[in-house]
Structure 1
Amino acid sequence: MSELVTRAEEWLAQDPDPETREELRRILDAGDAVALEDRFGARLEFGTAGLRGELGAGPNRMNRVTVMRAAAGLARRLGPGRHVVIGYDARHNSDVFARDSAAVLTGAGLRVSLMAHHWPTPVLAFAVRHLGADAGVMVTASHNPPRDNGYKVYWGDGAQIVPPLDVEISAAIEETGPVDRLPLGTGWETLDDAAIVEPYLAAVTALPIGDARDLRVAYTPMHGVGGEILLRAFAAAGFAPPAVVEAQFTPDPDFPTVSFPNPEEPGAMDLALRLAEKTGADLLIANDPDADRCAVGVPTPDGGFRMLTGDETGGLLGEWVIERTSAPDRLVAASIVSSSLLGKIARAHGVRHAETLTGFKWIVKAGDGLVYGYEEALGHSVGSDRGLPVRDKDGIGAALTIAGMAAAAKRDGRTLLDLLDAQAGRYGLHATAQLSFRVSDLALITAAMERLRSNPPQALGGRGVHEVDDLSAGVDDLPPTDGLRYRLDGDARVVVRPSGTEPKLKCYLEVVVPVTGGDVPAARTRAASDLAAVKTDLAAALGL
C-alpha cells in the first residue's frame, strides 16, 4: 500500500488536470487500497493499437499525463524536425488530449498540424499521406463505452503502426520523466476544412461508385463525428440527402440513446431501423462514433429490415470493386477471421487475394496494387486503380460505394439481397457467425486459450477437426499472434482469439454450403443449423 501511495503522490505532483487530481486526492484521503491498486498496480500498454482505456487518474487510465507521456515517446522516436498531424473525435477530453499532444510535440522540436474540429478517423488517416507527414495521431476510442478514450498512432505510409514500431515507441515512453518537466510548445498549424476535409471528400467521391443515384437512404452516425462529413460526401457525389436519426446525429460523448455505441451490439440499431422502415428506405447506413466502420441494412420482402454482416458487405463490395477496376496486378485482402468468400471471388476474376492478421494495420500492408480490403467487424477500405485513398477503415468511402451499388441494383429491378443470393449461387453460401465472451478478469481468457491448446477439440458441430493452426507460432507467412484456427470437414472454419481492444475472447465461425438447384433459402437454413451446432460445441470446449 505504501508503494502505491508513493506512486500516487508522485503522479499528483505532475498532473495538470484538476479533475483527475481531485479524483486521486479523494482516493488517497479515503485510503482506498483497491482503487489505488486498480490505477497504479498496472499501466495501459502501448501496442499496435496505441493506447485505449477508461478515463481517470493513474497510469492504468487514459488521462493527460498518460497522453503527454505517449506524445513525448513518439517525439523521441521520430526526432526533431519531423511532421505529425493530429486529429480527434468528440469523446470526453479528446480535444484536450489532442492539444496536449500538440504542445508536447512542438516543444520537442517537431512540426505539428492539428485539426480544427472533431472529424472522423479516416480523415486523419487520409491527412497523413495527403500532407506528407511523418506520423499521425488520432485521439479516439472508436466504438468503446463512453468512459473510454484512446490514442492511435499512424506512420508516414498512412497506416497504423506495426511491430517493431510499437515496441520502440513504448520504450521511448518509458524513458519519459515527469510531464511537468516537459518543454511545451505553441504555434502549431491548424488544419481547417479547406486544408483537409475538402481534399478528403474529393478523394472518396472519386471511388468506383457507379453512375446510379436514385436511392432513399436512412442514416445514423450513432452520436459520433461522421454525420456532417457523410452528408457532405453524399451531396458531393450527387445522392439525395439521407434521412437521419435526429436523436443520434449531433456528436455526444455520453451516447445517451445506446447502451454500447457499436452498430453490431444488440439494440444499437433500433432507432435507425425504425427510421428506415418509416421512410421506406432502400438502404440503411450506420457509422460507428469515429466513422471508420460502416454497417449496412436492407429491406426484406416482408416489409422489415435486416442488417448485413460485415462478411456479406465485404463480399458485395469486393466483387463490385473488382469489376470496376482494371489494373492487371490488382489485389484484394481480408483478415484471417473474415469469410473465405473474397478469396473465391478474386480467383474467379483472376485477381490476387491476400489473407492477413486481424486489423487494418495488416490489411493495408497486404501488398502493392491493393484496391479493396475488409475485415468482418464492419471495416472496409475501398480503392481504385490508383490505390486506397485511406489506408485504414473508412466508413464514409464504404458508405458511398455501397450506396452506388444499391442504386445500380435498384435501377436493374434488384436489391442487395438479390446480389447476395446471386453470389451464393456462384460461389456457395458462405455463412459466418461469432461467439464472444466479455470478461472482467483477463486471466479467464488466458486459461481458455491454454485449455484449447492442451486439449483441442476433435470435432465441432459434428464436423471433424482435420487441421489445427496455432497462430502464435506464425503460419502461412503471417506474423505470430495469439490465436487458434481449426479447419473442419466439409469446408468450415473456426478462429479463436483474444480481442486486441476489449476484454473479450472472440470466436469466428464459417460454414460453406452448396446451393443446390438454385434453392438459396434451403442452403441458408442448413447453414444456420450447422453454425448453431458448431457454436454449442465450441462454447463447451472453451468452458467460459
Structure 2
Amino acid sequence: MSTQQILEKAKQWLVAPFDATTQEKVQKLIDNNDNNLTESFYKDMEFGTGGMRGIMGVGTNRINQYTLGRATQGLANYLHQTFPDKELKVAIAFDCRHNSKSLAKIVADVITANNIRALLFEDLRTTPELSFAVRHLGCDAGIVLTASHNPPEYNGYKVYWNDGGQIVPPHDKKIIEEVSSVNFDKINFKANENLLSIIGKEVDEAFNKASVANGTFNTPNRNKLKIVFTSLHGTSIMSVPKVLKMAGFKDVHIVKEQEKPDGDFPTVASPNPEEPAALKMATDLAEKIGADIVIGTDPDSDRLGIAVRNLENKLVLLNGNQTMAVMTDYLIKQWHEDGRLNGNQFVATTIVSTNLIEKIAQSYNVVTKICLTGFKWIADLIREAEGEQEFIGGGEESFGYMVGDFIRDKDAVTATLLACEIAAHAKNNNSTIYKELLNLYSKHGYYKEYLISLTKKGMDGAQQISQMMVDMRNSPLKNIDGSPVEFLFDYESSICTNLLTGEKTAIDLPKSNVLIYQTKDGTKVAARPSGTEPKIKFYFSVNLPLEKTEDATIVDKLLTQKIDRIIKEMQLN
C-alpha cells in the first residue's frame, strides 16, 4: 500500500462514526507523518493461528473498540446466518491486560445489540475456563479478550465455536469474510442490556471440579509435595490455587510480588513462561525454601513453565516438549492401569513438536494424531473423533497442554495440577519428574529440541519474513550437519518431496505456511512465520540413543553441539 493510500485510509477515521477522541488521535498521527501512521493503517488486522492480536491504538491495524466491534459484528452476522431460527448465546471472558474489561463490555454490547444473549464474566478469568464455559452453558460461540504472553501494549481477541474449540475451517474463513464486509458505520454498538447476563461463581465451581477430576489420579501424600507457583501477574491466580487446594496440595507457596493481576507485568521483561527470566523470582523462592517443583503460567493461563530438581538436586527448567512427553506418558500409563485402553484412544501433537510423543504412544499401542501448529487443530481432531475415539491428552512445544476432553484449548490450570500429580507420584517412588524424563529418553531415545524466533516488525519485517520462506522453498537445503535431507514437507503446497528420489506425496492437512526438512539421521528443522507475532520461527529437533541415564549429560552436550552447528550452517546466529 502506498503512502498516499495509507493517508487516505487514515482520513476516513476523521469523521463519524469514529468518536471525537479517536479522530483527535488519528489527526495527530497524520500531523506527525511518522511510521506510526503507516503501521496503524497499512493493513486490516487479520485472524491468525491464535485469533486477532496486536498493539492497542487507533487504526485498522490496531486493537480498539472499532476493530473489535467490526470483528464482533461480523461474528454476529455469521451466527445469525448459521443458526437462523435459534436463540443465540455467546460467552465472553477477558484477562488482566489494560482495557480488557472495558473492551469486553463493548464486545458484549455489540453482541446484545444484534439480538444475541451475552454471558459476560464478572471479572478476569482464564482462557481455558472460557473454553469450558462455551459447552457448559450451551453457547453457540465464545470470545476472550487476551494477548496471551505478548508485551503490555498488546491485546487480542479469540473466537471459539460451540464445541469449545477455537474457530477452524470453514467457519474461520467465513467469519473473516463477514468481518471484511462490515463497514465501520454498520457496527451496532447500541446494547440491549436485557440480553446481558453476568456469570462467574457457578462456572468457576464447575470448571474447578472438572479440572480436579481430569488432572488427578488418586495419588497419596499430595500434601508432602512442596510447590512454588507464580501467576506472573495474570489470570491463573483466579483458579490454580483453588484447584491445588481442592486436590489436597497444601504446601503451596505463591510468589507474592507477582500475585496481583497487572497488565504492566512490572516484575518481568516478558510474562512468558517459555523464557527462564520470567520464572526467576519463583525459582529463587524455591531454592530458598527447598521446593520440589516450580510452576509459572502466562497472563491468560493457557501456557505453563515448569522447573524441577535434576540429578544434582538443582532446579532446571523443562521445555514444552519435555513437559509434554512426561505428561503424555503419565496419562497413557494411568489409562492403561485403569484398564481404559481398548484401541479407541489417541493423543495429539503438532508438526513442529517432538517426535518423542509418537514413540511414547506407540509403546502403549496408542495412536498419535499430528496436526498443524495451534490448539484449535487439536480441538478439531477431537471434534472429528467424537463418538468413535477418546482423547487422552495432547500438546505442542510452545508450553501448552490439554488434559482430556472437558475443554478444547490449552489449559495451564489442569496442566499445573497434572504436573504436581506427577511430581507427587514420583516422590512417593523416590523419583522425580526429571528422572522420569531420563527414563523416557533411555527407552525411546534422547530427543533435544531448540527454537529460534527472529523478530521482524512492521510492513518491512513482514516482507522480509515472506522472502525468507520463498528462499527456503525455491532453494531447499540438501544437507544438514552432514546428513542428506531426505524429505521436504511443504504445508503450503500440501506436498512432501523426497529430495533423494524426487517422489512427491500429498500432505493431508489444511494448507499452512510451514516448511519442514527431515534428514536421514532423524534431524528435523522447521520454519514458519508466527500467526500472532511479527516473528519467523525455526524449530530444531535432533536425537541420539541413550544407553543409560548416567550418560545423559554427555549425550545432551553432543546434541547441543549438533544444534549449534546447524544454526551456524543456516546462518541464523
Q: 1:3 Cα deviation (Å)?
A: 5.4
1:454 aligned partner, one-letter code = N
Match in the other structure for 1:342: 357
Q: Cα gap change, 1:504/1:48 in structure 2, threshold over 3 Å: closer, same or farther?
A: closer
The answer to whether residue 283 in structure 2 is matched with residue 282 in structure 1 is: no
Match in the other structure for 2:500: none
1:25 aligned partner, one-letter code = Q
Deviations along 1:67-114, one digit per CA (max 9) or x if unpaired, are 111110000000163211111111111111111111111111111111
Q: Cα gap change, 1:291/1:179 in structure 2, threshold over 3 Å: closer, same or farther?
A: farther
Q: 1:52 Cα deviation (Å)?
A: 0.7
Q: 1:434 Cα deviation (Å)?
A: 1.1
Q: 1:479 Cα deviation (Å)?
A: 1.3
**Is the Cα–Cα contact under 8 Å of residues 69 and 189 in structure 2 kept in the other structure?**
no
1:483 to 514, 518, 527: 514
Deviations along 1:312-333, one digit per CA (max 9) or x if unpaired, are 1111000111111214211101
1:463 to 483, 488, 491: 483
Match in the other structure for 2:26: 24
**Is the Cα–Cα contact under 8 Å of residues 330 and 370 in structure 1 kept in the other structure?**
yes
Match in the other structure for 1:75: 76
Of 501-510 and 261-270, the range deviating more from structure 2: 261-270
**Is the Cα–Cα contact under 8 Å of residues 48 and 166 in structure 1 kept in the other structure?**
no
1:43 aligned partner, one-letter code = D
Alignment partner of 1:522: what SS? helix
Q: CA RMSD in A?
A: 1.9
Alignment of 1:150-161 (within 5 A): 150-161=156-167
Q: 1:206 Cα deviation (Å)?
A: 0.1
1:347 aligned partner, one-letter code = Q
Alignment of 1:5-16 (within 5 A): 5-14=7-16
The answer to whether residue 347 in structure 2 is matched with residue 332 in structure 1 is: yes
Deviations along 1:92-140, one digit per CA (max 9) or x if unpaired, are 1111111111111111111111111100100001101111111000100
**Is the Cα–Cα contact under 8 Å of residues 346 and 353 in structure 1 kept in the other structure?**
yes
**Is the Cα–Cα contact under 8 Å of residues 461 and 537 in structure 1 kept in the other structure?**
yes
The answer to whether residue 383 in structure 2 is matched with residue 382 in structure 1 is: no
Counterpart CA distance in 2 for 1:31 and 1:209 is 57
**Is the Cα–Cα contact under 8 Å of residues 144 and 158 in structure 2 kept in the other structure?**
yes
Deviations along 1:479-526, one digit per CA (max 9) or x if unpaired, are 111111111122221111111111111111111211125533332222
**Is the Cα–Cα contact under 8 Å of residues 320 and 399 in structure 2 kept in the other structure?**
yes
Match in the other structure for 2:499: none
Alignment of 1:316-327 (within 5 A): 316-325=326-335, 326-327=340-341
The answer to whether residue 179 in structure 2 is matched with residue 178 in structure 1 is: no
Q: 1:443 Cα deviation (Å)?
A: 1.2
Counterpart CA distance in 1 for 2:46 and 2:540 is 29
2:151 aligned partner, one-letter code = P
Alignment partner of 1:90: what SS? coil
Q: Cα gap change, 1:241/1:62 in structure 2, threshold over 3 Å: closer, same or farther?
A: farther
Alignment partner of 1:69: what SS? helix
Of 394-403 and 240-249, the range deviating more from structure 2: 240-249
Identity of aligned residues (%): 35
Match in the other structure for 1:450: 470
1:61 aligned partner, one-letter code = R
2:210 aligned partner, one-letter code = A
Counterpart CA distance in 1 for 2:286 and 2:197 is 38
Q: Give the TM-score normalised by structure 2.
A: 0.90
Q: Cα gap change, 1:410/1:26 in structure 2, threshold over 3 Å: closer, same or farther?
A: same
Alignment of 1:106-505 (within 5 A): 106-179=112-185, 182=188, 184-185=190-191, 186-210=193-217, 211-212=219-220, 213=222, 214-325=224-335, 326-328=340-342, 329-367=344-382, 368=385, 369-383=390-404, 388-440=405-457, 441-474=461-494, 475-505=506-536
Q: 1:447 Cα deviation (Å)?
A: 1.2
Q: Cα gap change, 1:237/1:19 in structure 2, threshold over 3 Å: closer, same or farther?
A: farther
Alignment partner of 1:268: what SS? helix
**Is the Cα–Cα contact under 8 Å of residues 41 and 59 in structure 2 kept in the other structure?**
yes
Counterpart CA distance in 2 for 1:44 and 1:143 is 19
1:333 aligned partner, one-letter code = A
Of 241-250 and 179-188, the range deviating more from structure 2: 179-188
**Is the Cα–Cα contact under 8 Å of residues 527 and 539 in structure 2 kept in the other structure?**
yes
Q: 1:13 Cα deviation (Å)?
A: 3.1
**Is the Cα–Cα contact under 8 Å of residues 220 and 249 in structure 1 kept in the other structure?**
yes
Alignment of 1:46-125 (within 5 A): 46-79=47-80, 81-125=87-131
Counterpart CA distance in 2 for 1:154 and 1:58 is 25
Alignment partner of 1:112: what SS? strand
Alignment partner of 1:298: what SS? strand
1:377 aligned partner, one-letter code = S
Alignment partner of 1:472: what SS? coil
Counterpart CA distance in 2 for 1:309 and 1:14 is 50
Counterpart CA distance in 1 for 2:48 and 2:555 is 42
Alignment partner of 1:491: what SS? coil
Deviations along 1:346-383, one digit per CA (max 9) or x if unpaired, are 11101111111000001122242111010000000011
Alignment partner of 2:194: what SS? coil
Deviations along 1:405-448, one digit per CA (max 9) or x if unpaired, are 00010111111111011111111111111122111211111111
The count of residues paired between Structure 1 and Structure 2 equals 536
Q: 1:295 Cα deviation (Å)?
A: 1.0
Q: Cα gap change, 1:353/1:58 in structure 2, threshold over 3 Å: closer, same or farther?
A: same
